[in-house]
Amino acid sequence: MRHRSVTYPGHTSTGRPAGSPLPDAAFGALADPTRRAVLDLLRAGTRPAGDIARAFTVSRPAISKHLRILRRAHLVEERREGRHRMYHLNPEPLKAIDSWLNQYRQFWTASLANLKAFVEEEHEKETRASQSTKKFTDSKKD
């Protein structure tokens, strides 16, 4: 089956808002738990590559590969300070993901609100029916 892109008004051919960064690389990078853990580590601030590698049980080359993937997804930025490579978190791609997820938050908020209203309405109907039945049986006793 051929891949077809869907377009919406105000969106590019990839379906994302015009001018916003494409979050596909970020989603791919976030799919790995080690890379998510690296991002969690960098939330506390800038760290040298060696410190990041020491925080994990996997090899330094493996962490280096994870950092490269995170850099390519623009989730982290690297700068050199002497012999050290310093890494810090770049939140911009996460904003694009959050924007995409917000559409689903709105959907689920509306869906749950509708479900709540339906359940409350049904409960009210049952309560009224139960009270009507009780009044009817009480009046028959008299």
DSSP-derived secondary structure letter, 4: -
Give the distance, in angstroms, between the CA of residue 71 and the centroid of all CA atoms in the same chain: 19
Q: Which residue has the tokens 């379906």?
A: 15
Please give the single-letter amino acid code of residue 28: G
Q: Quick check: 97 and 110 in contact, CB under 8 A?
A: no
**Cα–Cα distance measured from residue 28 to residue 7, given in angstroms and rounded to the nearest whole number:** 22
Report whether pLDDT(14) > 50. no
Q: Output the six-digit token pair for 63.
A: 């962490």
What lies within 8 Å, CB to CB, of 8 at 6+ separation is 15
Q: What is the pLDDT of residues 30-68, one digit of tens each?
A: 999 999 999 999 999 999 999 999 999 999 999 999 999
Residue ranges per structural domain of the chain: 24-90, 92-142
CATH code: domain 24-90 is: 1.10.10.10
Q: What is the pLDDT of residues 71-125, one digit of tens each?
A: 999 999 999 999 999 999 999 999 888 988 999 999 999 999 999 999 999 999 8
**Cα–Cα distance measured from residue 26 to residue 73, given in angstroms and rounded to the nearest whole number:** 5
pTM for the complete prediction? Answer: 0.64
Predicted confidence band of residue 25 (pLDDT cuts 50, 70, 90): confident
